[in-house]
Chains A and B, each alone.
Chain A
């Protein structure tokens, strides 16, 4: 039987002690009130399907929203959307341990820089708490407040481009998406000195500890986590063979070239390989040309013994994973952060 609204029940997570929460709220809200942040893009309206948690005991049947957004296998495994679970009785749930390190942060926009016609660098100075610990490659969920036709708060995920050593100052690289609610705000409604709110860090996309060679593959704003990883390697004096394939259409779509050249100077075994798919005559481009898959296929030796890290569109990742597997890279050595 559900407990009456307003009475206290308990939530137990993983093997941690249970804590009391009032009934009548969503599980997502109850966890947030206890500073446990589960990633969500829609702010808890059952739209994005991101706030997945495993409920071991205490949840009712799936709501229609959950039935639409969760696969049958997920539902049979006890997965729920935290925003769709109403806290009515004692709950026992399981979530990834890294959710416990996510916090809500307030920050100020201290710099805006257009890197290409459609990619903007946003620098955030953390105000409260003043620092954040994260791994290079992870992301935050930035709160987008209502504006113009956006009626409700939403959240959007952006990877840090700055290294973890910059604990008080984060750089994000954001690509403008056609009619995108998040990026339209960030490109048109975010002046300097605006205060923003985000939560994080999240994500399993980070450099694995090993001595293997590394292939990085990215396009567009997929540059962000790669730059963070390279800067972290430089700072920690990690000496691994690294090749970074970066795909763009024309020279105007390339960015951070000076930073990449500087990293080539400071990382002894690092090579940056930009490739243009449609260079313009005025580009006078003498570097690699073609789709990033073609360039990768030309450069990567058979039975490549290293690891690969990819960040970009699902199409790019699908196609590059095929090339990597053709070159003998095992699935468990391919890591990617897909936009979808």
Chain B
């Protein structure tokens, strides 16, 4: 089993992580615990769960995968494009396995909003309720995410 991190050590790992250019916490000066709690509250306010969000993202990613790099229409008014780059990324929490560098971009054709998430984002949300810190390259702001994807109460 991978060694479990203490919260402080984990926070240091996330701030220094070389896989993401600015680390997983970006310029966010809040503690990891505070970031996790704030994002958790944002999700709960909408009556959603991290597992539900991750499943939704995974379903969009799988729909987009069928496009072989070209945009795919997803009802009611989304366009999804999945793009892959060479290489993989490990989970900064030390979980088993690594994640292909796959970016999924969802364009809400009705609102004009757009959001991009990675395979690692999906894992981090599903397994750790972690959306990364403000300013991180692949931060997913829960409010923006739910608004763009028009996610209401389950």
Using CB atoms and an 8 Å cutoff, list the residues of chain A in contact with chain B: 41-43, 45-49, 64-65, 67-69, 148-152, 154, 156-157, 177-181, 183, 219-220, 247, 249, 277-278, 291-293, 312-316, 319, 339-340
Name the contact of A64 in the complex, choosing from B3, B87, B101 (C-beta under 8 A).
B3
A205 CB to closest chain B CB, in angstroms? 12
State which of B2, B105, B138 has its C-beta within 8 Å of the C-beta of A68.
Answer: B2
The verdict on A314 contacting B84 (CB below 8 Å), with A152-B18, A179-B137 known, is yes
Inter-subunit contact B101/A178 (CB<8 Å) = no
A42 touches B18 (CB 8 A): yes
Partner of B70, one of A41, A46, A180, A277: A277
Contacts of B66 in A (CB 8 A): 315
Q: Using CB atoms, name the residue of chain B closest to A139.
A: B86
Q: Are A291 and B137 in contact (CB under 8 A)?
A: no
Name the residue on A nearest B27 (C-beta): A149
Which residue of B is nearest A178, CB measured?
A: B103
Q: Which residues from 86 to 126 on chain B have a C-beta closer than 8 Å to any C-beta of chain A?
A: 86-91, 94-98, 100-103, 105, 116
Complex partner residue of B68 from A48, A179, A278, A315, CB under 8 angstroms: A315
Contact, CB under 8 Å: B21 / A181: yes
A66 nearest in chain B by CB position: B2
Contact A340 B84 (CB under 8 A): yes
- With A179-B137, A220-B69, A313-B68 as contacts: A340 and B19 at CB distance below 8 Å: no
A117 to chain B, nearest CB (A): 14
Kindly count the residue-residue contacts between A and B in the assembled complex, taking CB atoms under 8 Å apart.
108
A313 adjacent to B3 (CB under 8 Å): no
Q: Indicate if the CB atoms of B18 and A340 lie closer than 8 Å.
A: no
Contact A68:B87 (CB < 8 A) given known A293-B68, A315-B82, A316-B68: no
Contacts of A278 in B (CB 8 A): 70-71
Give the CA-CA distance A312 to B100 in the complex, in Å.
14
The minimal Cβ–Cβ distance linking B8 to chain A, given in whole angstroms, is: 17
Which residues of B, 11-54, contact A by the 8 Å Cβ criterion?
16-19, 21-22
A49 CA / B67 CA spacing, docked (Å) = 28
Report the bound CA distance from A48 to B101 in whole Å. Answer: 11
- Tell me whether A154 and B100 are in contact in the complex, defined as CB-CB below 8 angstroms, given that A64-B2, A292-B68 are known contacts: no
What residues on A are CB-neighbors of B2 within 8 Å? 64, 67-68
Complexed CA–CA distance, A57 and B21 (Å): 36
Q: How far is the CB of B19 from chain A (nearest CB, A)?
A: 5
Rounded to whole Å, the gap between the CB of A159 and the closest CB of chain B is 10
